[in-house]
Amino acid sequence: MPDPSKIDEMVQEFLADMSLKEKAAIANLDEDKVPYLQHAFDACVHSQLGDDDEMSKNVMHRIWEVLQETHRIRILQ
């Protein structure tokens, strides 16, 4: 199991480099659509994560979780 503190650190680094539009797009994906981003994400982070597929999946899913809380579009009443 990858170190959770390392995952959180990497997530914060990736989020710092994302635009608001990217964050909102990921935040508004249903969870079952997150794996479709995995290939593109892997290509972008290969130099940082190497071929560690488990770490990559954990980081991508954690990014989605964080963005669900911070950048999801909500209907206000």
Q: Is residue 45 part of a domain?
A: yes
State pTM to two decimals.
Answer: 0.85
Model pLDDT, residue 25: 93
Which of 46-68 are b and which e, b meaning 16 or more Cβ less than 10 Å from the residue's Cβ? eeebeeeeebbbbbbbbbbebbe
**Count of domains observed in the chain:** 1
In a domain, 75, yes or no: no
What does the pLDDT look like over 29-57, one tens digit per residue?
999 999 888 888 888 887 777 778 888 88
pLDDT for position 4: 86
pLDDT band at 75 (very low <50, low <70, confident <90, very high): confident
- Given a cut of 80, whether residue 10 has pLDDT beyond it is yes
Output 59 or 75, whichever has higher pLDDT.
59
Residue 77 belongs to a domain: no
Residue 31 falls inside a structural domain: yes
pLDDT at 1 over 80: no
Q: Which domain holds residue 30?
A: 4-70
Supply 49's token pair.
């994560």
As a whole number of angstroms, the distance between CA 38 and CA 60 comes to 7
- Whether residue 76 is contained in a domain is answered as no
